[in-house]
Amino acid sequence: MLTYDELIQKPREFLSATGLHPEEAERLVIEFRKAYDTVYPPTETKEGKARQRQVGGGVKGNLATMGDKLLFILVYDKTYPLQTMQGLSFGLSQGRVNHWVHHLQPVLRQAFAQLEMLPVRDGSSIADAPGVADYLIDGTERRRQRPKEASAQKEHYSGKKKAHTDTNVIVTSTETTRVEYLGSTEPGKVHDKKLADQAELVFPPGATLGKDTGFQGYEPEPVLTFQPKKKPKGGALDFFDRFFNRIYSTSRIRVEHAIAGVKRCRILKDILRNTKAGFSDMIIEIACALHNFRIDSRQPAPDFNLLDFCT
């Protein structure tokens, strides 16, 4: 049976199972303990009523410590096993695994909120991000189980992925590859530009925004935007356009790296089996926060400014 105290003594295995180094987990577990008391106050029962008995009474479960609870939810999000297999790893039944998954996800989100790792969800707040002037925007899709209702099937079917998906718009910082903004989770049928228009993003004056051709025509003010040059039909790009596209690709790869960092959680990479309302949106928000947490805890990426490179 996996336990936090044993696995954290094996740094390589701990990193593979959770996506975090032991020292990062030690920092996170402190906030996780505070977040647990915030989400589930010790003076109240699960139903929100005043507690009549002292905290700590009753049978002790297999997830006895906060470290074990944190390990449980990190392993689930990182590896996304069947709940039966998760139960075998932690000595729990499938039903108890399902309970703890939904019980602990809000706690993990609250812990990242306390650490200020969550991406902004309000498009008008991007301009408030300190020290960020260069942005990249992109859409990301992730597969989910096919809905049972015909109307929902049609809405979630993505012609681009040839599958049923959920989609989000992500805005990252060019300098750090942190996810600064995460758009709302929408059905996969919705186009990237439409998502960006609906978000009503507000960028700081003088900022730059790199985008791909999926955002053709998206020109928020007062931002200087860049996108690769498209080859004309029946023609070819000249030398300067090809040179610009090559330079631009060295900048745009940062947003692809950010999305790859977010999708280190296999719960986003594999087909999502849990279709409970709001669950899909919560897990991508937590995955973005995990990515930001890793970025801030490790060696920062070198500065890169597309305008400086071109001039």
What tens digit of pLDDT does each residue of 73-101 get? 999 999 999 999 999 999 999 999 999 99
Question: For the ranges 58-72, 209-223, 235-249, which has the lowest average pLDDT?
Answer: 235-249
Q: What does the alpha-carbon distance between residue 141 and residue 159 come to, in Å, rounded to a whole number?
A: 11
**pLDDT tens digit string along 207-234?**
889 988 888 889 888 888 888 888 888 8
Q: Which helix (H) or strand (E) holds 189?
A: none
123-310 architecture in CATH?
2-Layer Sandwich (3.30)
Burial class (CB in 10 A: 0-12, 13-18, 19+), 9: exposed
CB 167, CB 158: distance < 8 Å: yes
Maximum pairwise Cα distance, the chain: 78
> Once rounded to an integer, what is the mean pLDDT over residues 108-128?
92
Q: What does the alpha-carbon distance between residue 37 and residue 39 come to, in Å, rounded to a whole number?
A: 6
pLDDT at 186 over 80: yes
Q: Which helix (H) or strand (E) holds 187?
A: strand 186-187
| pTM of the entire predicted model | 0.88
In angstroms and rounded to an integer, the radius of gyration of the C-alpha atoms of the chain is: 22
All structural domains of the chain with their residue ranges:
4-114, 123-310
Q: What does the alpha-carbon distance between residue 122 and residue 182 come to, in Å, rounded to a whole number?
A: 8
Q: What does the alpha-carbon distance between residue 34 and residue 182 come to, in Å, rounded to a whole number?
A: 25
- Residue 150: Cβ within 10 Å count: 8
What residues does 210 pair with on adjacent strands? 136, 226
Question: For the ranges 4-18, 44-58, 140-154, which has the lowest average pLDDT?
Answer: 44-58
- Comparing 38 with 243, the larger pLDDT belongs to 38
Which residues, 6 or more positions from 194, have their beta carbon under 8 angstroms from its beta carbon? Answer: none
CB 177, CB 301: distance < 8 Å: yes
CB 119, CB 284: distance < 8 Å: no
Q: Which helix (H) or strand (E) holds 73?
A: helix 66-79
Q: What is the mean pLDDT of the chain?
A: 89
Res 305: pLDDT: 54
The closest alpha carbon to 29, from 5, 56, 47, belongs to: 5
Q: What does the alpha-carbon distance between residue 138 and residue 211 come to, in Å, rounded to a whole number?
A: 7
CB 101, CB 83: distance < 8 Å: yes
Share of the chain above pLDDT 90, in %: 63
pLDDT bracket for residue 299 (50, 70, 90): low
The half-sphere exposure of 60 on its side-chain side, counting CA atoms within 13 A, is 5
- Sign of the C-alpha dihedral, residues 147, 151, 156, 161? positive
**pLDDT tens digit string along 8-44?**
999 999 999 999 999 999 999 999 999 999 999 888 8
Render 120-141 in DSSP notation, one character per residue: B-SGGGGGGSTT--EEEEEEEE
> Once rounded to an integer, what is the mean pLDDT over residues 195-207?
89
Q: What are phi and psi of 143, to 5 degrees?
A: -75, 150
pLDDT bracket for residue 51 (50, 70, 90): confident
Res 174: pLDDT: 87
